[in-house]
Structure 1
Amino acid sequence: MEKDTQIFGLRAIIEAINANSTIDKVFLQKGLKGELFQELEFAIKKNGVNASYVPIEKLNKLTTNNHQGAVAQISPITFHDLETLVEKTIASGATPLFLMLDQISDVRNFGAIIRTAECTGVNGIIVQKKGGAPVNGDAIKTSAGAVFKIPICKVDHIKDAMFYMQASGIKVIAATEKTDNTIYDISLKEPCAIIMGSEGRGINPSVLKLVDAKAKLPLLGDIESLNVSVACGVFLYEVLRQRL
């Protein structure tokens, strides 16, 4: 974790959360007790901050400072408001293209996806507040700086974004092997949002039930799936091919 993107200490993190700082994740020491620690836990829960409980050895690796059992990772970017971004995109006259990531956990995959999205003219990337990869140094490096050029929105749940997209006339398309339709069977010329699932589980079944369309990539080899960043690149370039 980069030193300039972290906060350490119970009171400091509480104040940062209460000041609405953009915090990607808080690492909390397992088994720690105390009134101030409980106050921090309450602030994390109240504000929907992503957190995980780790051994003290993990915290000691993150910082050599007196962390008091808590280290927070601050996002180096400012996240955008979803509704404002969608409205602005539609008003611009462009055909909207959004990318929704259902808990992509690997930061390098995340960074590679951001880079491809910027190169293919994606209007914005939507991620969940919890469960996804943080915007850290590795993600920034892998994105080749694209993370600073493309709007990224955080929502409480991907379903929230889906419902808003659909209400705004934007078709939600799932990239999943659980369909007979390939990406070459569907039209991507109209306003759309592509959902990519996590590395291990794919798209959450409860999310998959709500999409407007599903599409898969044809696989001719023995391996049953592609790396998610590679698959995302193929999907986005097919959108670009159809629209050019």
Structure 2
Amino acid sequence: MKKEGIVYGIRSVMEAIEADQSINKVFLQKGLKGELFSELETLIRKKNISASYVPWEKLNRITQNNHQGAIAQIAPVDFHDFNTLIEQILEGKESPLILLLDQLTDVRNFGAIIRTAECVGVDAIVVPKSGSAPITSDTVKTSAGAAFTVPIAKADHLKDAIYYLQASGFKLVAATEKTDHSIYDVDFTGATAIIMGAEDKGISDSILKLADHKAKLPLMGQIESLNVSVACGVFLYEALRQRLA
């Protein structure tokens, strides 16, 4: 177990990236120039790490130390290599269940999903390296510690992860309202990967069109959608119900 923390200073942040530390995000000073700073920007792009350009004042609020215009947030858990993790899962299990999260942004929703995934026996959670909710101390707390139990992998691009899973024999099921098919019409047995989308806009169109199956939850009230963590729980427990039948 690692403690959530920060690394500050341009060279220190570069060293953390090159050492494959589990970095949630890098904050860079807006408008900063210089050869070493440019090297850091190039490294961030090469490793596809999420980064934001912010005013000097925000960096000062994160740390009072000499940050030199660069701060990296270190995740409290280690992330797995996507390809290696999927290979290991397939070697050890005939019908694994994988969860893909497309642009989920709320850390507490993320934690709640991790907790449910652990209870259901999900074999891995996959998120994109950029544009996804970080794993913070709040995520870990909301997950009730499950963040240290469920393997979580970051993929460079979710599209590539989907192609890899499909080539490995997984069927991809997208949770979306943009379909006439109910969750109860889908077969969740066999190797399956469930895709859940962002809180506000759901699964992106580019990801949605790659899914093998699309399914929605029946809604009988006036509210048009469920919280993503609740919806994810329903999908996961329907998959478990079918597997236990």
TM-score normalised to structure 2 length: 0.95
Letter in 1 for 2:170: I
State the distance in 2 between where 1:159 and 1:54 align.
Answer: 29
Cα offsets for 1:154-209 (capped at 9, x unmatched): 11111111111111111000000000011011111221100001112211101111
Q: Distance in 1 between matches of 2:15 and 2:83?
A: 28
Q: Are positions 1:177 and 2:186 aligned together?
A: no
Equivalents in 2 of 1:143, 1:160: separation in Å? 27
Unaligned 5+ residue runs, structure 1? none
Match of 1:240 in 2: 240
Check if 1:215 corresponds to 2:215.
Answer: yes
Instruction: State the alpha-carbon separation in 1 of the partners of residues 147 and 4 from structure 2.
Output: 17
Identity %: 63
CA distance in 1, matches of 2:184, 2:143: 27
Q: Does 1:25 align with 2:25?
A: yes
Return the offset for 1:42: 1.4
Give 3-state SS (helix, strand or coil) of 1:154's partner. Answer: strand
Where does residue 115 of structure 2 map in the other structure?
115
Residue type matched to 1:73 in 2?
Q
Partner of 1:154: 154
Q: Verify the 8 A CA contact 2:29 2:54 in the aligned structure 1.
A: yes
Name 1:140's counterpart in structure 2.
Answer: 140
- Measured after TM superposition, the shift of residue 4 of structure 1 is 5.0
* Corresponding residue SS for 1:207: helix
Equivalent position SS for 2:80:
coil
Partner of 2:197: 197
Give the distance between the partners of 1:162 and 1:4, measured in 2 at CA. Answer: 30
Could you list the runs of 5+ residues in structure 2 that have no partner in the other structure? none
RMSD of the alignment, in Å?
Answer: 1.5
Distance 1:20 1:241 in 2: 38
More moved, 17-26 vs 105-114: 17-26
Runs of 4+ in 1 over 3 A off after TM superposition: none
Aligned partners of 2:107, 2:242: CA distance in 1, in Å?
Answer: 29
Verify the 8 A CA contact 2:4 2:75 in the aligned structure 1: no
What TM-score, normalized to structure 1?
0.95
Equivalent residues of 2:3, 2:76 under 8 A apart: no
DSSP 3-state at the match of 1:59:
helix
In 2, Cα distance between equivalents of 1:56 and 1:222 = 46
- Cα deviation 1:49-107 (Å, max 9, x = unaligned): 11011122221221121211111011222211223322222222342100000010111
Corresponding letter in the other structure for 1:121: G
Give secondary structure in 2 for the equivalent of 1:127: strand
2:231 alignment partner in structure 1: 231
Question: What SS does structure 2 have at the residue aligned with 1:173?
Answer: strand
Matched pairs, number: 243
Are 2:64 and 1:43 equivalent residues in the alignment?
no
Alignment deviations for residues 23-48 of structure 1 (CA, whole Å, 9 cap, x no partner) = 12101111222222222111111221
In 2: Cα distance, 1:191 partner to 1:3 partner = 34
- Quote how far apart the aligned CAs of 1:239 are: 0.6
